[in-house]
Chain A
Amino acid sequence: MSPFLAMLRRDLRISARTGGSILTVALFFTLVGALMPFAVGPDRALLARLGPGIVWIAALLALLIAIDRLFRADHEDGTLAALRLAPISLEAIVFAKLIAHWLLTALPLIVITPLLAVLFGLDGDATLRLLLTLLIGTPSLTAFAAIGGALTVSIGRGGLLAPVLILPLCVPTLIFGVAAATPGLPGSDGAALLYLAAFTLLALVIAPFAAALALKMAAD
């Protein structure tokens, strides 16, 4: 087995064992989405128009609360030092962890999204568009989460610092994601989706290097 796959399998296995954490993020996402109609009021047309934006905000918030899970445990029990002596680079290890983290936090949210779409009265077409934008856009959020998690790994209880650091980075994802998912917004004919994909690719390229650098500095 390649070191990359070994890393991926270990992270998936640990999360599967401590299944509660996957469920917490998914429930948080569902609850934030389900609370919005109470705040906005029972206006079907308005909810259908705001639906994609609310789902995107709920996904963003849910992914933020999971940031600490990426590197903190490995930093605190000494695993990170031993990982740095693996025959693959720390950047590759970060990328493997990033994939595992996306599969365990963002993918469950995408699976639940049709449920929220029903709640907002989105039709089938709008639901599919929303799912597509989430599928393409959430990897960039996970990439930024990796940077935030790595930067705050040595700060005792980093808590809210990482979200504050990375929220500004998530603005383009949110703009293009919501634009591509909401009919009638500028760019919803396809341009926004392409920008979203480009931004995700950019984030995925930068994040492993930035996060690995931050982790090395944290050990120094």
Chain B
Amino acid sequence: MSAPAAFPPVALTVEGLACRRGDLEVFAGVSFTLAPGAALLVTGENGAGKSTLLMALAGLLRPTAGRIQWSGLGPDMLPRDSIHHLGHLSAVKPSLTVAENLGFWRDLYGLGDIGPALAQSGLAGLAHFPAGFLSAGQMRRLGLARLAAVPRPVWLVDEPATGLDEAGAAWVNRLIAAHLDRGGIAVVATHQRLALTGVAETLSLAGRRAA
């Protein structure tokens, strides 16, 4: 396999970001910058707003205050065309086969190659089985394989190693490290101590309680 092409140098600047879910202010005043090839590890207890932060960065929910600034995307690229968001759910359809699940995302996102991603994720032997037969860990691998199959410079991943065995967790670390090597950026939310190689910075969200 030849070395994959480098991404355009995408950078992210976040200033004073605040988000609400319903009446509860989940976090406020979150600021950080990510240069091309850098990653941010978001930690914090349950309910501290890690998933909310990732959704706000992905544009899936509107922040109540602050600014999210992408740079280096290219003239006619929208942020949504460059972002992978993997929530705590893996977006796997049980009635489609493993290869069809991955092939759909390749077709929808318009580029990529599912062969190497299947091989890396360890699901190549199960490619033609319905995804409904997969275990929780294998489903997570299939969810992560979407990120590996379709090249996009920004990864926003929520608890990537949930349900994975040791080899799987090591694969996630390699996957993210390889992504950063290509010049991509990643924001990884986790409450576990993931030994992500190449992670430069950690943002700790303090849990807020409803008043």
Point out residues on A near B: beta carbons under 8 Å.
Answer: 1, 3, 5-7, 9-10, 13-14, 17-18, 76-79, 81-87, 219-220
Decide: B81 and A87 in contact? CB cutoff 8 A: yes
Q: Of B59, B93, B104, which contacts A77 at CB under 8 A? A: B93
Nearest residue (CB) in A for B132 is: A17
Contact of B61 among A9, A14, A79, A220 (CB under 8 A): A220
* Listed A/B pairs (9) with beta-carbon separation below 8 Å: A7-B108, A17-B130, A78-B88, A81-B85, A82-B86, A87-B110, A219-B55, A220-B61, A220-B62
Q: Which residues of B in the span 51-89 have a Cβ within 8 Å of any Cβ on A?
A: 55, 58-62, 80-81, 83-89
State in angstroms the CA–CA spacing of A10 and B104 once bound together.
7
A82 and B85 contact, Cβ closer than 8 Å, known pairs A10-B96, A77-B93, A220-B62: yes
Which B residues lie at the A interface, using CB under 8 A?
A: 55, 58-62, 80-81, 83-93, 95-96, 100, 104-105, 107-110, 130, 146
A85 to B93, CA, bound (A): 17
CA A18 to CA B95, docked complex, whole Å: 7
Asked whether B61 lies within 8 Å of A13 as measured between CB atoms, the reply is no
Rounded to whole angstroms, the CA-CA distance of A81 and B90 in the bound complex is 10
Closest 9 CB pairs of A and B: A78-B89, A6-B107, A17-B95, A78-B91, A79-B91, A6-B108, A82-B91, A1-B107, A220-B61
Interchain CA distance A79-B92 in the complex, whole Å: 7
- Whether the pair A219, B89 counts as a contact (CB closer than 8 A) is no
Which A residues are in CB contact (< 8 Å) with B104?
Answer: 6, 10
Which residues of B sit under 8 angstroms from A84, Cβ to Cβ? 58-60, 80
Known: A13-B96, A219-B60, A220-B61. A85 touches B83 (CB 8 A): yes
Among candidates B58, B61, B92, B109, residue contacting A3 with C-beta atoms closer than 8 Å? B109
Report the bound CA distance from A196 to B24 in whole Å.
Answer: 46
In the complex, the answer to whether A14 meets B93 with C-beta atoms within 8 Å is: yes
Residues of B within 8 A of A82 (CB): 85-86, 91, 105, 146
Of the candidates A3, A9, A10, A81, which one forms a contact with B55 in the assembled complex, judged by CB atoms under 8 Å apart?
A81
Given contacts A6-B108, A85-B84, contact A77 B96 (CB under 8 A): no
A1 to B85, CA, bound (A): 22
CB closest chain-B residue, reference A10: B104
Partner among A9, A13, A81 whose Cβ is within 8 Å of the Cβ of B91: A81
Q: Are A86 and B89 in contact (CB under 8 A)?
A: no
Residue of B nearest to A82 (CB): B91
In contact, B84 and A77 (Cβ under 8 angstroms): no
Closest chain B residue to A6 by CB distance?
B107
How far, in whole Å, are A18 and B94 apart by their CA atoms in the complex?
Answer: 10
- With most chain A CB atoms within 10 A of its CB, the pick from B58, B108, B130 is B108
